[in-house]
C-alpha cells in the first residue's frame, strides 16, 4: 500500500530527476516544487568510500547528531553504540564544513513546508546522514517542517543500533530506500570487502563513468569525448573477466545469505538496514520495514539474478522508477478461480507477484514465508502492546494496595514511615500481602523488558508517555521496598555490598534511562509548594543506609586518610539530602521522627558534638571542613 502511494505521487520521479542533475555536477543540487524543496547528492564522489580501506564503523558525533547520541551513551551498558560508515561520515562532514550546504538548508527551512533529501548510490548515504542531521536539529527547536529521505541503490550506512535509535525516535517513516531487484551495491557491505578489492576498484570506475556519461551528447559536449568515455567503460568491463564478476557475485550472495539466516546483525561492528525498503522489479514494488525481512529479501531476490544483472541493475533506476509508476496505474488481479483463505494471504500473493519471483523458482517458498513473517511481525508488536495495557490494568490493584500501605505507615503512631516499617516488618498478613504484591509487580515489569529486548513490542514503546510515566511511578513506589528488603535485619549488604553497586535490579536502571530521555514539560520545572507524594530519588534510602555506615566507621576508624574520605562522603550526602528536602522532593515519611534519615541526622549531630568536646580522639570537623 505504501509502495503504491509512493508510485502514485511525483516523489520518486522528481527525486530521481534531481539525483541525475546532482551526479552530473558531482556535488549536491537543490530544486523547488511548490512548498516542497528537494536536495539531491551526487553518487560520484572524489573518495571511493566503498573502497575496503574506508569501511570501518565509527561512533556518531553528538555535536551534529544529538538526537542519536543518547542511544549510544557509554553509561548504558546494555546498548551498543550508534555507529556509521567512517568514509561516508567523513564525506558528510566535509560537505557540511567546506560547502554552503548548512546555510542553504537554513534558507530552505524558512521558505518550505517539506524537505526531501535524495541521492543515488553513495549519494543516498549522504542523503540519509543529512536527514538525520536535520531531524536532530528540528527536534531541538520543535519545528513542524516535514522531512523525507528517498535513496536509490544506497549502500548500507550503519549498525543495528542506528536502526533501533531511529525507531525509538519515531523517525522510521522518514526513510525510504529504493532497491533494484538485483543491485549488488545495497548488499555489498553485508560482506567483508577486503578479498574483493581489485574487482571493486574496477566496478567503481565503471559505475562512476556510466553515471557521469549520458547516452547522448548534450549541448556543449564533444561527441568524441563521449565516445571515448563509452570506450573506456567497455575497456573496464573487459578488464574484469566473467570469472571475477562471478566470484564477486557468489561471494556477496553467500554473505547476504549468512546474514539472512543469522536473523540479526550480530553486534555493533556489523552493517544493518534501517528505515523502509522498496524493492523494485519489472512487475512493481514490495515495501518492507523490518530489518530481518529486508536482509532476507535482499538474499532471495539476488539469488534469482546473476553477476551481470547485479552490476547493471545499479544503473537502471530510471527504468525502474518509470515501471513502478506505470505498474501501479494498472489494475492487478489474480488468476481466475484462485481463492484465498483471507485478505492476508491475498496480500502476500500480490507482494510475491510484485517481487517478480515466479512460483516455480526455488526461492518462491522462502520468499512467501518471508513476506508472511514481515506482515505478521508488523502487526504483532502493536497487539502485544495492547495486551500489556490490559495486563497493566489488572495489576493496578496490587499497586493501589501498596499505596494504601504507605499511607497507613505515614499516619502510624510509631512515626517510622513507609521505608522503616517495611524494613522492620513482622509476620502480619498485611506485611506479607504487600511483599507478595512487590514480587508480582517486579515479575510484570521484568516480563515487559524481556518482550521489549526481544523485539516483541513497538520500537518506540519506551517513548510512549503512558509507559514512561507508569514505570517511573512503579519505581518511586516500590524500589524503597526493595531497598528495605535488601537491608532487612542487616542482611544481604553484609555479604554482597551496598544496594547501589551490588543489589539494584536492572529494571530500575532501564526505567531511569526512559525517564531521563523523556520530553520534559514546562510544568515539571515549577517549584513545589508541598512535599511530594513519593520521594523523587527512588534510591534515597540506599544512600541513607550507606551514610549510617559511614558514621559507624568514623567512630572506629583511626587512619587519618580514611577518616577524611568518610567525612567528605558524609558532608556530600548531608548537603544533597538538605537540598532535596528544601525543594520538597521527598515524601513526608522521610521526615518522620523515627525514620532512618531522622535518626541519621541525630547521630550526626551527636558525633559532631563529641568531636568538639574531645578533639584529641577525632579529626576536627567544623562547618564541613576537615582539619587533621
Residues belonging to the active site: 121, 183, 314
- In the block, cell 502485544 appears at 384
Interstrand relation of 28-33 and 36-41 (parallel, antiparallel or unpaired)? antiparallel
Q: Where do the H-state alpha helices sit in 424-505?
A: 429-453, 465-486, 492-496, 499-502
Q: Which of 350, 334, 234, 345 is nearest to 286 (CA)?
A: 350
DSSP line for 318-339: HHHHHHHHHHTTSPP---TT--
Alpha carbon distances (Å) from 586 to 81, 225, 469, 539, 582: 35, 79, 18, 11, 9
Residues 6+ apart with CB under 8 A from 578: none
CA–CA distance, 539 with 536 (Å, rounded to integer)? 9
The C-alpha angle 354, 359, 364, rounded to 5 degrees, equals 80
- For 416, the grid coordinates are 517510622
Four-CA torsion 193, 195, 200, 201, nearest 10 degrees: 120
Q: What is the rounded distance in angstroms from the CA atom of residue 62 to the CA atom of residue 65? A: 5
Angle between helices 429-453 and 506-516 (to 10 degrees): 70
- To which H or E segment does residue 280 belong? strand 276-281
**3-state SS, residue 607:** helix
Residues 6+ apart with CB under 8 A from 580: 535, 536, 537, 540, 586
Which of 303, 300, 301, 353 minimizes the C-alpha distance to 331?
353
| Closest-CA residue to 185 (of 298, 334, 268, 76) | 298
**Burial category of 129 from C-beta neighbours within 10 Å (exposed 0-12, middle 13-18, buried 19 and up):** buried
Residues 310 and 250: their CA atoms lie apart, in Å, by 11
How distant is the alpha carbon of residue 622 from its chain centre? 50
String of b and e for 456-471 (b: at least 16 CB within 10 Å)?
A: bbbbebbbbeebbebb
How many Cβ atoms from other residues are within 10 Å of residue 199's Cβ? 18
User: Is residue 140 within 8 Å of residue 65, measured between CB atoms?
Assistant: no
Per the CB < 8 A criterion, the answer to whether 524 and 536 are in contact is no
Gyration radius (Cα) of the chain, Å: 31
Cα 126 versus chain centre, distance: 19
Amino acid at each position: 500500500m505504501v509502495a503504491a502511494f509512493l508510485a502514485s505521487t511525483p516523489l520518486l520521479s522528481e527525486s530521481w530527476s534531481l539525483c541525475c542533475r546532482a551526479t552530473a555536477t558531482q556535488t549536491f543540487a537543490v530544486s523547488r516544487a511548490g512548498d516542497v524543496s528537494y536536495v539531491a547528492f551526487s553518487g560520484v564522489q572524489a573518495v571511493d568510500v566503498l573502497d575496503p580501506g574506508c569501511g570501518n564503523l565509527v561512533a556518531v558525533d553528538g555535536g551534529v547528531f544529538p538526537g542519536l547520541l543518547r542511544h549510544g551513551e557509554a553509561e548504558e551498558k546494555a546498548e551498543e553504540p550508534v555507529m556509521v560508515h567512517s568514509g561516508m561520515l567523513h564525506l558528510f562532514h566535509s560537505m557540511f564544513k567546506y560547502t554552503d550546504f548548512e546555510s542553504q538548508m537554513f534558507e530552505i527551512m524558512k521558505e518550505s513546508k517539506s524537505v526531501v533529501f535524495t541521492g543515488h548510490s553513495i549519494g543516498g548515504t549522504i542523503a540519509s546522514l543529512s536527514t538525520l542531521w536535520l531531524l536532530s536539529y528540528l527536534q531541538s527547536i520543535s519545528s513542524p517542517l516535514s522531512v523525507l529521505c528517498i535513496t536509490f541503490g544506497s549502500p548500507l550506512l550503519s549498525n543495528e543500533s542506528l536502526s533501533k535509535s531511529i525507531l525509538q525516535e519515531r523517525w522510521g517513516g522518514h526513510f525510504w530506500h529504493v532497491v533494484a531487484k538485483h543491485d549488488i551495491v545495497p548488499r555489498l557491505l553485508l560482506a567483508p570487502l577486503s578479498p574483493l578489492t581489485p574487482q571493486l576498484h574496477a566496478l567503481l570506475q565503471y559505475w562512476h563513468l556510466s553515471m557521469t556519461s549520458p547516452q547522448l551528447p548534450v549541448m556543449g559536449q564533444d561527441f568524441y569525448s563521449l565516445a571515448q568515455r563509452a570506450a573506456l567503460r567497455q575497456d573496464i568491463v573487459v578488464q574484469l573477466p566473467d570469472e571475477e564478476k562471478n566470484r564477486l557475485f557468489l561471494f556477496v550472495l553467500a554473505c547476504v545469505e549468512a546474514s539472512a539466516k543469522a536473523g540479526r546483525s550480530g553486534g555493533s561492528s556489523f552493517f544493518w538496514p534501517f528505515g523502509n525498503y522498496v524493492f523494485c522489479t519489472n512487475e512493481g514494488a514490495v515495501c518492507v520495514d523490518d530489518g530481518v525481512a529486508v536482509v532476507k529479501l535482499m538474499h532471495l531476490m539476488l539469488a534469482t539474478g546473476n553477476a551481470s544483472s547485479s552490476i547493471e541493475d545499479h544503473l537502471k533506476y530510471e527504468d525502474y522508477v518509470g515501471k513502478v509508476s506505470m505498474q501501479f496505474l494498472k489494475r492487478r488481479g489474480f488468476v481466475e478461480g484462485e481463492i484465498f483463505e483471507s485478505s492476508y494471504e491475498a496480500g502476500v500473493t500480490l507482494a510475491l507477484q510484485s517481487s517478480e519471483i515466479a512460483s516455480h523458482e526455488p526461492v518462491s517458498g522462502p520468499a512467501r514465508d518471508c513476506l508472511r513473517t514481515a506482515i505478521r511481525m508488523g502487526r504483532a508488536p502493536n497487539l502485544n502492546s495492547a495486551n500489556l495495557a490490559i495486563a497493566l490494568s489488572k495489576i493496578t490493584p496490587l499497586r493501589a494496595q501498596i499505596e494504601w500501605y504507605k499511607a497507613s505507615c505515614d499516619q502510624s503512631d510509631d512515626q517510622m514511615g513507609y521505608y522503616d516499617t517495611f524494613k522492620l516488618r513482622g509476620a502480619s498478613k498485611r506485611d506479607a500481602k504487600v511483599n507478595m504484591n512487590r514480587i508480582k509487580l517486579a515479575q510484570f515489569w521484568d516480563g515487559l523488558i524481556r518482550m521489549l529486548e526481544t523485539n516483541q513490542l513497538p520500537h518506540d514503546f519506551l517513548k510512549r508517555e503512558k509507559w514512561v510515566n507508569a514505570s517511573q511511578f512503579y519505581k518511586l513506589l516500590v524500589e524503597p521496598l526493595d531497598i528495605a528488603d535488601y537491608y532487612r535485619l542487616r542482611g544481604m549488604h553484609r555479604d554482597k555490598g551496598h544496594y547501589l553497586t551490588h543489589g539494584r535490579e536492572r529494571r530500575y536502571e532501564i526505567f531511569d534511562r526512559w525517564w531521563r530521555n523523556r520530553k520534559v514539560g514546562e510544568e515539571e520545572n515549577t517549584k513545589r509548594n508541598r512535599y511530594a507524594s513519593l520521594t523523587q530519588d527512588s534510591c534515597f534510602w540506599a544512600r541513607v543506609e550507606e551514610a549510617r555506615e559511614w558514621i559507624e566507621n568514623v567512630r572506629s576508624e583511626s587512619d587519618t586518610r580514611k577518616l577524611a574520605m568518610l567525612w567528605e562522603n558524609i558532608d556530600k550526602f548531608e548537603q544533597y539530602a538538605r537540598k532535596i528536602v528544601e525543594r520538597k522532593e521527598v515524601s513526608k515519611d522521610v521526615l518522620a521522627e523515627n525514620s532512618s534519615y531522622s535518626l541519621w541526622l541525630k547521630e550526626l549531630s551527636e558525633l559532631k558534638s563529641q568531636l568538639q568536646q574531645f578533639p584529641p580522639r577525632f579529626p576536627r570537623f567544623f562547618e564541613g571542613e576537615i582539619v587533621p
